[in-house]
Structure 1
Amino acid sequence: MKKILIAGASGVLGMEITKALYREGHHLRLHTSSEEKRKKLSFYSDDIHIATEKDSFKNITKNIDIVISALGNSISLFTKNENSFFEIDFEINRRILQDAKVNSVQRFIYVSIKGAGDKANLNIPGSNRQFEKSLQNSGINHTILRPVGLFSGLHDLAIMAKRNFIPVIGDGLAKTNSIHQADLAEVAKKYLFDGPEILEIGGPEIHTRLEMAEMIKDRFNAEIIRLPESLAEIGIAMSKISGDIHSKLENFKYITTHDMIGEKYGSRNFKQYLQELDNKDLP
């Protein structure tokens, strides 16, 4: 049986991919960034590689057949990243890819984001796009998954709703079909051995941003606050003092004011996901 490296295994998506492949009996090597995170992975494998941006990642892919990378910086406004999106989303993935080439890895699956193909001037999709290009030029058989957005990526709106407000930028009519992270893990499993070069993927239901805000409102009994795009642009400009916040705000504004629709996949819907959210898990 082939051995698989999951990079970013302790993240929300990485953990779902780990669980899905563990259930299938695959031999796993799991990458994470700290001893604390290693502990939550120890049930699924005893081959765990701890490495951060300070490490070379040399031989992380030794004796590995397939790499799946779900590694990337947090896009949450409530999580402070110590490193830039370029340093994590591009540079660390590049180190893993270089090692994969040295160790003759057969296949590489990379979880990017929708927008990487046409909005590379923004920091977050741009960093993803740079790595996509490196992978495409690597000579390794690969699939690039571009989810339109994960349900877990909408936690910021739920956190704000706990504080009694839900921001909607512009008219709220932009559409999306965000996907549950467990459903996206199933997509990665489906294309483990072969698949399309690029797949833009979403969940089973399409909603406008306003419709999603209404669902969050009903769940948390919060108020929807409408923000003109011009006001959002001012906030983005003022945030340049912090590169991390600026990158997140410009990305948030872009994805919430443009249609972000991918090929439908999975069965879990957003309303059900909201009902299952435990308020105690939200800061």
Structure 2
Amino acid sequence: MENKKVLVAGATGYLGQYIVKEVIKRNYDVRVLIRNENQKKYFNNVTDFFIGEVTKPESLKGICNGIAAVYSSIGITRQKDGLTYIDVDYKGNANLLNEAKACKVSSFLYVSALNGDKLWDLKIFEAKEKFVDELKSSELNYTVIRPNGFFSDMKDFLAMAKNGKVYLFGKGNFKLNPIHGEDLAKLSVDKIGGLENEISIGGPDIFTQNELAKLALDSWNKQPSIVHLPDWMRKFTIWSLRAFTSSKTYGPIEFFLTLMAFDNEAKQYGTHHLADFFKEEVKKEKI
């Protein structure tokens, strides 16, 4: 790629900050999208900032001038400011894509999630995959990266374990291999300008939910105490939330509870191990 300038959108998030560091490490020029001046404090060695909001297309004019590749991990996990998944994960990314097309960028990399294309019934994936379809029809060179859960997502298990018990639905035998943000950033930057359209990826260690629960309990030096709840409770909880709350409330819980009900394994990659991550998180809490 002759022009080596990359726009990073979603840069203030868990993954985005690792992406910015990795892009700089690889000697790419980088432009970072931020919402306000205060967010500059999150970044070292970045001089090119663009202030705008993906939900306001008029604020993005010119964002892709001189840009060769766009990397977007734009999305919301817990909704705020009255915005929905469709507003941000779909329309926000679509606004960014329109700017990329206008400036004829050479490639667009987007982060969805493992199995997102099979879970359109979940509000969060409905929005993400609606954008994936738009990206595929854009005629840009594109890559959709589908990571397994992040290490940061696994802190829910660690939080339960702190109190001495971890609750699982069913038998706890479903498998997953979450990935560290730094490992995913390395893989992602490798793919800039590449020809792979879709990549599913996970971390180096595969766990059953039972093994993950035990790892979380061990990190707190707790005796193994895993409570297996009947799966009908999981299904009833999802039904109740959908029936009696808005997607702003049930979206993240629906996502978590649905993914607890099947295997989430992807190609193993990376050098970071969840056991080390858990130890570091516990150490931070004890300081």
User: 2:80 aligns to what?
Assistant: 81
Counterpart of 2:258?
254
| Structure 1 range deviating more: 116-125 or 136-145 | 116-125
SS in 1 for 2:205: coil
User: Which segments of 5 or more consecutive residues in structure 1 lack a partner in the other structure?
Assistant: none
- Paired with 2:35 and 2:172, the residues of 1 have a C-alpha distance of 37
Contact 1:175 1:259 in 2 (8 A): yes
Q: Which runs of 4+ in 1 moved over 6 A?
A: none
Q: Secondary structure of the residue that 2:119 maps to in structure 1?
A: coil
Q: Percent identity?
A: 28
Q: Determine which structure has more spread, i.e. the larger CA radius of gyration.
A: 2
Distance 2:163 2:248 in 1: 23
- Structure 2: how far apart are the matches of 1:157 and 1:242? 25
Shift of 1:224: 2.9
Moved more, 133-142 or 57-66: 57-66
Q: How do 1:202-217 and structure 2 match up within 5 A? A: 202-217=202-217
Contact 1:108/1:143, CA 8 A, preserved across alignment = yes
The answer as to 2:277 corresponding to 1:277 is no
Query: In angstroms, what is the RMSD of aligned CA positions?
Result: 1.9
Q: Which amino acid aligns with 1:37?
A: Q
Match of 1:61 among 59, 64, 69: 64
In structure 2, the CA distance between the partners of 1:260 and 1:166, relative to structure 1 (3 Å rule), is same
Q: Single out whichever of 194-203 and 270-279 deviates more from structure 2.
A: 270-279
**Which one-letter code corresponds to 1:175 in the other structure?**
K
Per-residue deviation at 1:167? 2.4
Match of 1:235 in 2: 237
1:121-150 Cα offsets, whole Å, 9 max, x none, are: 111122111111011000000111001111
Deviation at residue 160 of structure 1 after TM alignment: 3.0
Q: May I ask how many residue pairs the two structures share in their alignment? A: 277
Structure 2 Cα separation of the partners of residues 177 and 111 of structure 1: 17
CA contact (8 A) 1:175 1:206 kept: yes
> What residue in structure 2 maps to residue 161 of structure 1?
161
The residue number in structure 1 matching 2:75 is 72
Q: Output the TM-score relative to the length of structure 2.
A: 0.90
Among candidates 244, 263, 269, match of residue 265 of structure 1? 269
Q: Which moved more, 1:137-146 or 1:241-250?
A: 241-250
Q: Which amino acid aligns with 1:81?
A: K
- Report the Cα distance in structure 1 between the residues aligned to 2:285 and 2:29, rounded to whole angstroms: 31
Code of the residue aligned with 1:92 in structure 2: it is G
Distance change >3 Å, CA 89–CA 80, structure 1 → 2? closer
* Structure 1 contact 9–32 (Cα < 8 Å) conserved: yes
Maintained 8 Å contact 1:30/1:47: yes
Q: 1:163 Cα deviation (Å)?
A: 4.1
Alpha-carbon spacing, 1:68–1:281, altered in 2? closer, same or farther (3 Å): farther
Residues 34 and 231 (structure 1), Cα distance of their counterparts in 2 relative to 1, 3 Å cut: farther
Tell me the distance in 2 between the aligned counterparts of 1:156 and 1:219.
13
Distance 2:159 2:199 in 1: 30
Distance 1:159 1:81 in 2: 23
2:255 is matched by which residue type in structure 1? N
